A and B are shown apart, each in its own frame.
Chain A
Amino acid sequence: RKEVEQDPGPFNVPEGATVAFNCTYSNSASQSFFWYRQDCRKEPKLLMSVYSSGNEDGRFTAQLNRASQYISLLIRDSKLSDSATYLCVVNLPYPLKNQGGKLIFGQGTELSVKP
């Protein structure tokens, strides 16, 4: 089983649509969760962190269910500029608490928003 699994996509949606991405992770020790966005042939960039209580940033809403080890990203009112690959990312903590952990990336879900 992959450590982080995402819907393979691609998702092709019209402008204005609502689209949801799902992600599951296998390591229950994971502590931090993120959604990154990657445009074609560019570097990944942080879209938003995901908190247990759920969090929203404009048209984007992220949810975390620790019991089910499930993460989601909801995009409302899709824009053409939302077209990109969305990466679900999970942190595995380093044994020493004062040092950083490792990020495990899902393979990404491609979104294409059409006029």
Chain B
Amino acid sequence: DAEITQSPRHKITETGRQVTLACHQTWNHNNMFWYRQDLGHGLRLIHYSYGVQDTNKGEVSDGYSVSRSNTEDLPLTLESAASSQTSVYFCASSESLGGQETQYFGPGTRLLVL
């Protein structure tokens, strides 16, 4: 069955370190998204991509970067981890149906920055 996976599922790191969170989907979806979820804020969009070599900033993109070299993967990199980036990170994907598409979420990565 097609799916979307994230790794690692849990990560502890120190401030200042570079961290990369992986997202892999096997649906061949064009669109991929990264969100973070924090108490009191709900899900907030970090970066998104509508296809290979396309990336766009979301509402909370500072300190994060993504690259899209193939359809299946959209890794999220924290350039220099900060304690404020402690959060739960969800990756999602969807087809391009002119805005009518449903997003499917990965299981999430819990990141703790000490």
Contact = CB atoms under 8 A, between A and B. Distances in A.
Contacts, number: 66
Nearest to B104: A46
A34 B107 CA distance: 20
B22 interface: no
A42 B106 CA distance: 9
B99 A45 contact: no
B98 A98 contact: yes
A45 B105 contact: yes
A87 B42 contact: yes
A100 B105 contact: no
B interface secondary structure, majority: loop
A34 B40 CA distance: 21
A103 B50 CA distance: 13
Given A43-B90, A98-B98, A103 B103 contact: yes
Interface residues of A, number: 25
B108 A43 contact: yes
A94 B99 contact: yes
A97 B45 CA distance: 20
Interface stretch (A20-28, A61-69, A73-81, A105-113): A105-113
A97 B100 CA distance: 10
Interface string B79-114: 000000000001000111111111111111000000
A114 B96 CA distance: 40
Nearest to B94: A100
Nearest to B105: A43
A105 B97 CA distance: 19
B42 A107 contact: yes
Nearest to B98: A97
A97 B44 CA distance: 23
B31 interface: yes
A16 B76 CA distance: 43
Interface of B: 30-31, 33, 35, 40-45, 48, 50, 58, 90, 94-108
Interface of A: 31-32, 34, 41-46, 49, 87, 91, 93-94, 97-103, 105-108
5 contacts: A43-B107, A100-B97, A100-B101, A102-B45, A102-B48
